[in-house]
Amino acid sequence: MYVHVPFCAVRCGYCDFNTYTPGELGSSASPQSWLDGLRRELDLAASVLGNAPVANTVFVGGGTPSLLGADGLASVLDAVRSSFGLAPDAEVTTESNPESTSVEFFAGIRDAGYTRVSLGMQSAAPHVLAVLDRKHTAGRPVAAAREAFAAGFEHVNLDLIYGTPGERPSDLQSSLDAVLSAGVDHVSAYALIVEDGTALARRVNRGELPAPDDDVLASYYEMLDTSLESAGLHWYEVSNWASSPAAQCRHNIIYWQGGDWWGAGPGAHSHVGGVRWWNVKHPAKYAAELAAGRSPATGRETLSDEDRRVERVLLEIRLAAGLSVDALDADGLAATAQCAADGLLEPAALSAGRCVLTPRGRLLADAVVRRLLS
């Protein structure tokens, strides 16, 4: 189960997610109207799926879920329990902005049943945060991670973004040092993408900032991987590292392995049994559709067998467990030998019937996918 919280206090310059600030929403929607809609959608989901199993994972993302406070996030999880139920060992994650958390917040969501916290850090360098329009202070994410551990969380993630204009190698190293000092068991690190329509894109287009450089991004990824591996955090997906299998994000693994999930909330996407659909984006429209007894879905597609095979290659190749060669057609299978010869796939794993990216292959994962699907 994915739950999308569409609220943010401010909009970060690089973000193109379906989020809204109070000024953008005005009086057209509120956390309460959103929660009322969410409850209705979850009841709808349970009725559509019938005898569906209880939720094995729940991921509350956004937006800024921590703006709901501990009581609000407890209400979200209560709604999931009421409609679906939770498996006894369910993984329950919420994203949080470090500035809208506290000792009391973490204690409250832990008592409510959350098992995992993902904190947006992005960087420890104040000037990098300024370019990204991030509003937290540089040291707050580490402090928040420690507060989460003190509240009883075993699994805490910190998110990094690398390649921001003006970020130096020393800045990235400072961020890595901060992450490792926090003692988290999971790190996600993403290369900065300048998305069309964002404030950052407008600054780049005006020549105020340079676009991220691919060679710099590659060198920064290698720096990240070396530091995290040395500290006992091992890659299990191209952009994710964990200290153990138990620390890996089970919810995201469902996405990468083509599993089923229901995405609830404005703009959320779902996938069940090869059918994908997505909700209306605006929170007011979302709440109104559900209040009127209608589905909030605004589009859908049924994936063909070939669609599903292509997506399997695209996603599973990113995993450290790799992709079975059974997913490849004859041309793709023939391409694997050259990929191995070019240092992009691990030869030993390929001999055992799996395509596993080498460190160089991770830098060129999209190119590998194109070759395997050509």
Query: What pLDDT band is residue 137 in, cutting at 50, 70 and 90?
Result: confident
Average pLDDT over residues 55-64: 96
pLDDT digits (tens, 9 = 90+) for 244-253: 999 999 999 9
Q: What is the pLDDT of residues 261-291, one digit of tens each?
A: 999 999 999 999 999 999 999 999 999 999 9
What does the H/E/C string look like for 316-359?
Answer: HCCECCCEEHHHCCHHHHHHHHHHHHCCCECHHHHHCCEECECH
Stretch 1-21: mean pLDDT: 92
CB 138 within 8 A of CB 103: no
What pLDDT, on a 0 to 100 scale, did the predictor assign at position 27? Answer: 83
> Are the C-beta atoms of residues 6 and 24 closer than 8 Å to each other?
no
Over range 21-42, report the average pLDDT. Answer: 92
Chain position carrying tokens 């991670």: 145
What pLDDT was estimated at residue 16? Answer: 86
Distance CA 262, CA 80 (A): 11
The answer to whether residue 136 scores a pLDDT higher than 90 is no
The pair phi, psi for residue 172, each rounded to 5°, is -65, -40
Answer yes or no: is pLDDT of 135 > 80: no
**Taking residues 32-61, what's their average pLDDT?**
94
Angle CA 84–114–187, to nearest 5 = 120
Question: Which top CATH class is 2-256?
Answer: alpha beta
d(CA 277, CA 70): 30
Mean pLDDT of 75-102: 96
pLDDT digits (tens, 9 = 90+) for 146-184: 999 999 999 999 999 999 999 999 999 999 999 999 999
What is the pLDDT, as a whole number, of residue 8?
Answer: 92
Rounded to an integer, the average pLDDT of 82-99 is 96
**What pLDDT sits at residue 24?**
86
The rounded distance, in Å, linking the Cα atoms of 148 and 151 is 5
Residue 183's region, left for phi above 0, alpha for psi from -120 to 50, else beta, is: left
For the chain, report the end-to-end CA distance as a whole number of angstroms.
Answer: 34
Cα–chain-centroid distance for residue 304? 26
Q: Mean pLDDT of all residues in the chain?
A: 96
Per-domain residue ranges for the chain?
2-256, 306-373
Helices (DSSP H) in the chain: which residue ranges? Answer: 22-25, 31-49, 69-83, 103-112, 126-132, 140-150, 169-182, 199-205, 214-230, 250-256, 283-291, 305-316, 330-341, 347-351, 359-363, 365-373
Please return the burial class of 75, using the count of CB atoms within 10 Å of its CB with bins 0-12, 13-18 and 19+: middle
Interstrand relation of 155-162 and 116-122 (parallel, antiparallel or unpaired): parallel
Those residues whose C-beta lies under 8 Å from the C-beta of residue 347, and which sit 6 or more positions away, are 340
Neighbours of 8 (CB within 10 A): 21
| Rounded Cα–Cα distance for residues 113 and 90 (Å) | 9
Asked if residues 71 and 102 have their Cβ atoms less than 8 Å apart, the reply is no
CB 60 within 8 A of CB 3: yes
3 state DSSP class of 116: strand
pLDDT greater than 90 at residue 371: yes
> Are the CB atoms for 99 and 135 separated by under 8 Å?
yes
So what's the pLDDT on residue 107?
98
Q: What is the pLDDT of residue 39?
A: 98
pLDDT at 159: 97
Report the DSSP beta bridge partners of residue 104.
none
Give this prediction's pTM: 0.95
Q: What does the H/E/C string look like for 47-59?
A: HHHCCCCCEEEEE
Looking at residue 22, its pLDDT comes to: 87
